[in-house]
Chains A and B, each alone.
Chain A
């Protein structure tokens, strides 16, 4: 079965020209999902900053920067790449609502056998945000 024939041009574009790829120095949140036994591993890094909210009073946290590193197939690389693009500059509350469906749509669709890659990308984003929140909690409650 030849899956690469079913890759959309968007998927191939992200595979050959990945965005935001590489290690982040001093990330605010990191997560590694998948495992080498399955063949796909994604590492998501985020940098979060607080700024004055544009819609309500007070501050909101936004994802200032996002980076990824992936060991995996074409779809794995493409989904992690586009996921970083989709969360960069977004408020945290919006970014953590990212779904694999949205990732797939943004890529113009994925072959059925590759849907799990988009699920992994969603998981990576959510876990990175979770990690950021955990670190923030630990920083505030250092005597806990």
Chain B
């Protein structure tokens, strides 16, 4: 039995170079970066060098980079921090129906506080409706937040176009945030070209350690803190900086960025082989997400007449890791909000499986999945009543 990990969108292994880069900062250079003495100074230097590294990848100033605890924390800080910086009036926000819960739930919280939020619909491929966006903008709109590429189905959003639309509004400033958690290894990260004011990234999605995230804040964008207690990170993420994690994340981001072309082309080929094989061997299958404007690493399917968690358990028994958008795997009674927003009926959405490839995925891995998956689907379908 092989062990095949195809859940890179859930998390990635830390790269060996990253482990090496973090090493000195556990026991040797362990100082608190805020301390005046030499231990503190060398820790501070490591943090600031990391900031420079990240800024160089994003093509921005180092002062525009904040280190936080996770992508979720960065999303919360970006959205709530911006909302809080405005007066006590109620404002209008625009986001999409397919955002990650770290964004969606934060906007739902703002709704509870009395603000208005428009959740943009998406088409059958998961692409945000730009006409709806244009029509939704009001004088009270202060923030638009649309994810760069969806983590469940892989659809890439037209970020530059959205930025242009927002910039045509010249009677007041509307800020633009994008959750770029899925983008680091595959998509352009130049914040000037993207035209965003806020961008979030999370270390463990691109070969860095868990427990640290990035928030890019364009100069002139006022964000107020949502947690309190120190001067760290311009008071926006108080708490002693996790130096080894920051060092690791910066190294991972540099590596991911410089390896983009090679990894993209390799992973795309393997993903396409998987998709082709699945369609050839398994009837009653649909591929979700945009056919071409999609991340190289994600192949998300819906299989008719089978349930997602049951497929995952059977795959797991064969050593294969994947994930699903079925209700049973989310712990709620509803299947994935992303699939439902794309117009996929619930009974089909329950049969969803997401394979997400990574830089270590091999052709043998794909062949192995294509060998095991068809039998699993067939057997589970045979267990189901005919109706």
Interface size on A, residues (CB 8 A): 31
| Docked pose: A16 CA to B314 CA in angstroms | 8
| A4 contacts B316, C-beta separation under 8 Å | yes
Known: A15-B313, A36-B350. A41 touches B384 (CB 8 A): yes
Q: Does B310 sit within 8 A of A, measured CB to CB?
A: yes
- In the complex the two chains form, is B383's CB within 8 Å of A71's CB? yes
Closest residue on chain A to residue B328 by CB atoms: A73
Contact partners of B335 in chain A: CB under 8 A? 39
Q: Chain B nearest CB: distance from A78 CB in Å?
A: 10
Q: Are A71 and B384 in contact (CB under 8 A)?
A: yes
| Cβ-defined contact, A1 with B347, below 8 A | no
Residues of B within 8 A of A73 (CB): 307-310, 326, 328-329
Q: Which A residues touch B220, using CB under 8 A?
A: none
A16 to chain B: closest residue by CB: B317
Contact with B along A59-77 (1 / 0, CB 8 A): 0000000000111111111
**Complex partner residue of B347 from A2, A16, A21, A36, CB under 8 angstroms:** A36
Most buried by A among B306, B316, B327, B328: B328
B305 within 8 A of A: yes
Please give me the residue from chain B that is nearest to A1 by CB atom.
B331
A31: min CB distance to chain B, Å: 10
> How far, in angstroms, from A36 to B330 measured CA to CA in the complex?
17
- Across the A-B interface, how many residue pairs have beta carbons closer than 8 Å? 83
- Check if A55 is an interface residue, CB within 8 A of chain B: no
A41 near B387 with CB under 8 A, answer yes
A71 partner residues in chain B, CB cutoff 8 A: 305-307, 383-385
- Point out the residues of chain A lying under 8 angstroms from B316, CB to CB: 4
Alpha-carbon gap, A74 to B346, bound state (A): 18
Interface size of B by Cβ–Cβ distance < 8 Å?
Answer: 27
- Nearest Cβ in chain A — how far from B376, in angstroms? 12
* A37 adjacent to chain B (CB < 8 Å): yes
* A111 and B140 alpha carbons, distance in the complex (Å): 45
Give the distance to chain B from A128, nearest Cβ to Cβ, in Å.
12
Question: Chain A at the B interface: mostly helix, strand, loop or mixed?
Answer: mixed
> Shortest beta-carbon distance, A20 to chain B, in Å?
12
| Residues of A close to B326: CB separation below 8 A | 39, 73
B346 lies within 8 A of A72 (CB): no
Give chain B interface residues in 371-387, CB to chain A under 8 Å: 383-385, 387
- Docked pose: A40 CA to B383 CA in angstroms: 12
Task: Tell me the residues in window 288-328 of chain B with beta carbons closer than 8 Å to chain A beta carbons.
Answer: 305-310, 312-313, 316-317, 326-328
B333 lies within 8 A of chain A by Cβ: yes
Inter-chain contact B309/A4, CB cutoff 8 Å: yes
A26 to chain B, nearest CB (A): 17
Closest B residue to A42 by CB, please name it: B385
- Given the contacts A71-B306, A74-B309, A39 and B385 also touching, CB distance less than 8 Å: no
Contact indicator A69/B385 (Cβ below 8 Å) = yes
Kindly state the separation between the CA atoms of A72 and B317 in the bound complex, as whole angstroms. 17
Query: Which of A12, A32, A75, A77 gathers the greatest number of chain B CB atoms within 10 Å?
Result: A77
**5 closest A-B pairs by CB:** A36-B347, A71-B384, A43-B385, A73-B328, A73-B309
